[in-house]
Chain A
Amino acid sequence: MNITTYYWERIKGHRLAMSGLAFIIFLILLAAIGPFFTVSPTVVNFDEKNLPPIGFSVEQSKFSSEAGSLITTHVRGKWEHPLGTDGMGRDLLSQLISGTRVSLLVGLFATGLAIIIGAMVGVTSAYFGGIIDNILMRFTDIMMTFPFLLLLILIVYMFGSSLTLIILSIGLTGWTGTARLVRSETLSLRTREFIMASKALGASDFRIVFHHLLPNTISSIIVLATLTIPGAILAEAALSFIGLGDPQVASWGNILNAGQNDIQTAWWIAVEPGIMLFLTIISFNFLGEGLRDAFDPKSE
């Protein structure tokens, strides 16, 4: 049995991790093929504003030009907009799908960037030691001292809030945990026989780092990456929620921001993106825990 099959067998038994994985696969499919089956998230139609989801109905007062005054009407959800519409009549299902794309992009790229920087810093620090280690780790300490969200808000405030910039700033500020982890793992690997053997054989530093040290920390990195993704997704959503997100894209945080103002009249706008966000974050957390157990030889 090869090692991948072995780990797969272990994680298959972890029910919560498997349901997390299933939901993540569903999200990826939704983001990939969803837009082909729904209307555009940017079509505005004021005749159909604030439609509730299917199965719900609300009382709405509208100005009627015939009666010349406000009349109260009973509005039901329509099948054209199964999850309802927002205050400008835009379809919520397609907005949520667009938000899924945004969140997955943020999760993937911001985490990827953070993991790469963190692994580089950690392995360099531990492998070379001495003054390099000291400088890099003090820099990591300084970065860690800034509360994550506050630093993000400061950067976005100063440099603008395009989605690319948000992804970059989450990646550039979120690497410190990885750096510490990779450093401590490398420190314990560095003195092991197989590293000494390759040194004795004349392997270059580059080769030792990329062929021997990093591959041996990969299981911890995978677990950490899985648990970093929800943090990145949440950070983007939080920024968008407080109004510092990219106004050009329909992200879950942006929809929630709009939903906050309409919470008295159209509760579904505030409820739906939050459910997506919550399920996404809990799925990654479950998967991360499952992976940690699977990789940990001590766990039962």
Chain B
Amino acid sequence: MSMKSYIAKRLLHTILIAWGVMTAAFFLMRIGPHSPADKYLATLGAGHNVSQVAAAIESRYGVDRPLYEQYFTYITSLLHGDWGWSFSTSMPVSDLIRTHWVYSFQLILLSSIVAILLGITIGIFSAARKNTTADHITTFFSFAGISIPNFWLGMMLILIFSVKLGWFKTYYDTGLPMFSLSNLYALILPVMTLATGMMAGYSRYVRSSMLENMNKDYVRTARAKGLPESIVLRRHVFRNALLPVVTIIMLDMSGIFFGGAYITEVIFGIPGLGWMSLKAVFSDDYSVVLAVTLIGAFVTLFFNLVADIAYTYLDPRIRYE
């Protein structure tokens, strides 16, 4: 199979899964006990005919129509960018997403940069000193970094650096520009929180990928030519070791994204998508919770596709099956 038809096949697969995701979300929504009427009925004053109001709301939101018709409307409006109405903020969900996604993006971007740079450096360091004390210590700390619950890490950073030492007293202020000094300063602890787990994971991947390559014939050849070890590591081993790492980082992205970033935003009050979603959970704003879940799934799909395509370009040996 040629590369073009492989990519076409991957695209088709992605579209199929995206449709499956939307369908799964639709049926989850239908079997769930929540109805759009709940929110209104809860705030209804005395003297109203409850069943009449409920019927009116259900007809307004189309929940009284046949299931296949609702399904069709749901899919077409999603595709048109209509993600429903947010009851708690009285605005379209799509507008809400448009205002909040940048804050998640900023946090994730900064954390990824920190995590990738440090993770790769630590991984190479560890691999170059395989089975020495330095390697054992970094291995231990990587395990600690992978295992530490990031919400607890966030709280401990707040306890040590803001409560006890008083260094970080500022909070993220949406009134200021995103990259203003004050906001970047307020992002230091959140980035440390989110980046630690990622960094630990990446350093492990880099280390094992490096070690796998170090015993290969081409490395032996490079050493036999008399090249210094640092050049062998940097020019030969590292370049080949990077490929699986790139893929793993991309596949990992969305998980870390919407697991780690969600909670980090909540702890530090950064008004991104996770923060918005949790607020919606507590104000019983159904369509917002669902929208953030769907966005999470779509972002995952996107990165899977990019990782797949990137892999075929980066590794000519790959067979398109």
Interface residues of chain A, those whose CB is within 8 Å of chain B, are 16, 138-139, 141-142, 144-151, 153-155, 157-159, 230, 234, 237-238, 241-244, 256, 259-260, 263-264, 267, 270-271, 274, 277-278, 281-282, 285-286, 289
Contact = CB atoms under 8 A, between A and B. Distances in A.
Given A147-B257, A148-B255, A285-B146, A243 B155 contact: no
A251 to B, nearest CB: 13
Given A146-B293, A157-B289, A281-B148, 19 more contacts: A141-B13, A148-B255, A149-B259, A150-B297, A153-B277, A154-B289, A230-B147, A237-B149, A238-B149, A238-B259, A241-B263, A243-B282, A267-B159, A267-B163, A271-B156, A271-B159, A274-B155, A282-B143, A289-B143
A299 to B, nearest CB: 12
Given A154-B290, A154-B293, A157-B281, A147 B151 contact: no
Contacts of B41: none
Measured as residues with beta carbon below 8 angstroms from the partner, the interface class of chain B is 35 or more
A147 B259 contact: yes
B249 interface: no
Contact of B263 (A147, A148, A238, A289): A238
Most interface-central of A159, A242, A270, A281 (chain B CB within 10 A): A242
Contacts of B258: 147, 149-150
Nearest to B18: A145
Contacts of B290: 154
Nearest to A233: B149
Interface stretch (B20-28, B51-59, B218-226): B20-28
Contact of A146 (B263, B267, B296, B304): B296
Contacts of A256: 151-152, 155
Contacts of B143: 16, 282, 285-286, 289
Most interface-central of A145, A151, A241, A243 (chain B CB within 10 A): A145
A229 B203 CA distance: 23
A107 to B, nearest CB: 14
14 contacts: A16-B143, A142-B24, A146-B21, A148-B255, A150-B262, A153-B281, A154-B290, A158-B28, A238-B149, A242-B278, A263-B163, A267-B163, A271-B159, A274-B152
Nearest to B150: A238
Contact of B159 (A234, A270, A281): A270
A263 B296 contact: no
Q: Is the interface of B mostly helix, strand, loop or mixed?
A: helix
Contacts of A243: 278, 282
Contacts of B255: 147-148
B165 to A, nearest CB: 13
Contact of B20 (A138, A237, A260): A138
B22 to A, nearest CB: 10
B228 interface: no
Contact of B266 (A157, A159, A237, A242): A242
Contacts of B155: 256, 259-260, 263, 270, 274
A138 B16 CA distance: 9
Nearest to B136: A16
B158 A263 contact: yes
Most interface-central of A150, A155, A285 (chain B CB within 10 A): A150
Nearest to A270: B155
Given A138-B16, A263-B158, A271-B156, A147 B296 contact: yes
Question: What 3 A-B pairs have minimum CB-CB distances, sorted nearest first?
Answer: A274-B152, A282-B147, A147-B258
A243 B257 CA distance: 20
Nearest to B29: A158
A141 B300 CA distance: 11
Contact of A241 (B13, B151, B259): B151
B66 interface: no
Contacts of B254: 147
Contacts of A270: 152, 155-156, 159
Nearest to B254: A147
Contacts of A147: 254-255, 257-259, 293, 296-297, 300
A151 B33 contact: no
Contact of B144 (A146, A158, A282): A282
Interface in B1-54: 13, 16-17, 20-21, 24, 28, 32-34
